[in-house]
Amino acid sequence: MMLRRHLAVIAWVCLFAGCGIIPLRGEQNNLLEEDEHRLWLTVEAEEQRLDQSGLLLTDQAVNDYLNSVLRQLSPPESTPDILTVEVRVLKNPLLNAFAFPNGKIYIHTGLLARIENEAQLATLLGHELTHATHRHTIQELRGVRRGSAVLATLQMIVLPLGVLGSVATSLGAVGYMGAVSGYSQGKELEADEEGLGLMVKAGYSPREATKLFEHLKEELVFRKVDEPFFFGSHPRVQERIDSYHHLIETKYAGQRGEEGVDRYNAVISPLVIDNAETDLAIGRLALVLRDLERLVSRQSDNARAHFLLGEVFRQRKEPGDAERSDSHYNRAIEANPRLPEPHRSLGYSFLKRGDRQSAMAELRKYLELAPHAPDRAYVEQAIKESL
């Protein structure tokens, strides 16, 4: 954790010197000191890299829904004019969310796939929004600047990107603070308290706040490893659990509110599928199995989910998995006869068992449904060899 705190100060000594005042929109409450103005210029450059990284989710329905929840927490009349409050989604299976000081909030698909309802989403958004509205970034930088930044800068230069992966190549110093190192304990506690107040005021159940982080803690135990981001750290998640538990017991005992389970799942379920495909591609079979079994328990006719479950069992190859994979392929076909991929996978399964006639029927059906499939030549060769 100390290394993370050191890394967060890269180049800030050079970037944020001076204390002049730069007015914005002519309003006293929108004045920025010079160092904060420079911070915002840095943020604009970091945002541009993220927006051009190819990692942004472009699903309009998901984006509209997330921003509608954010607007309930931050109506225009109570939001500082200087902030551009908005949620954006990054396609990454790791657990994280972070806010830039201008009000832009970024959430990973991996975290959205683990959240269970709208109240938990509101908890997360309220926490991140508070970091922006309470100017935590510039406060943190001014405090860090008084420390030993030279050593931290050198450490950052020699640190490899490692498991931060594709997001790390687009994150700058400011994004790193929100996404990886987090803020000081006092500022995180303030974000807990103020954010919880926002979600309660919007009509959500405060008890879902604790449930969110208890769920994330269970997730980290299931994954058997800390992830490099703030919400993928056991200590940080436990801090949030303790903080929200204290707030609920002292300020919101007996408070009830909405959970928004159906609304959340109706919009986010397709994203769960997308995230499962990413996890499957990098071999995280246990995560995919857990997430998709939970999804089909709510949506038993989700053809894509059944197909991916078939792929999990095919790759896992434990006793009985061949039968399980075929069962899910068949359920996928029953749910959506026009989905090509289950026919291909079922065809290869029949080939392995020596049932050439059934294999050819399924593979031909695949080519019929996907005439321009990139693997068409390969499938045609398999059919030819089965004759």
- Say if CB 287 and CB 279 are below 8 A apart: yes
Distance CA 191, CA 115 (A): 19
Q: Do 97 and 35 sit in the same domain of this protein?
A: yes
pTM above 0.75, yes or no: yes
- Tell me which residue range forms the domain holding 326: 266-386
- Which phi and psi angles does 106 have, rounded to 5°? -110, 130
Q: Can you spell out the DSSP letters for 183-205?
A: --HHHHHHHHHHHHHHHHHTTB-
Q: Do 203 and 273 sit in the same domain of this protein?
A: no
Q: Which of 325, 327, 293, 326 is nearest to 312 (CA)?
A: 325
- Say if CB 343 and CB 362 are below 8 A apart: yes
- Indicate the residue type of 92: N
pLDDT at 191: 92
Q: Do 37 and 125 sit in the same domain of this protein?
A: yes
Query: Considering just the CA atoms, what is the radius of gyration of the chain in Å?
Result: 24
Sequence-distant (6+) residues with CB within 8 A of 183 are 131, 136, 137, 140, 177, 191
- Residue 170 belongs to a domain: yes
CATH of the domain at 353: 1.25.40.10
pLDDT at 77: 67
List of the chain residues with pLDDT < 50 = 1-29, 146-164, 168-169, 175, 178-180, 227-230, 232
Q: Do 245 and 294 sit in the same domain of this protein?
A: no
- Residue 257 belongs to a domain: no
Instruction: Give all strands (DSSP E) within the chain, no chain letters.
Output: 21-22, 32-33, 86-90, 97-99, 104-108
Q: What is the pLDDT of residues 134-193, one digit of tens each?
A: 888 777 777 665 444 433 433 343 333 343 455 544 555 554 554 445 577 888 899 999
Q: What is the pLDDT of residues 355-369, one digit of tens each?
A: 999 999 999 999 999
Q: Do 44 and 128 sit in the same domain of this protein?
A: yes
- Say if CB 82 and CB 63 are below 8 A apart: no
- Residue 184 belongs to a domain: yes
pLDDT at 43: 77
pLDDT at 22: 32
- Say if CB 85 and CB 114 are below 8 A apart: no
Q: Do 150 and 225 sit in the same domain of this protein?
A: yes
- Residue 312 belongs to a domain: yes
Q: How many domains in the chain?
A: 2
Sequence-distant (6+) residues with CB within 8 A of 200 are 206, 252, 255, 257
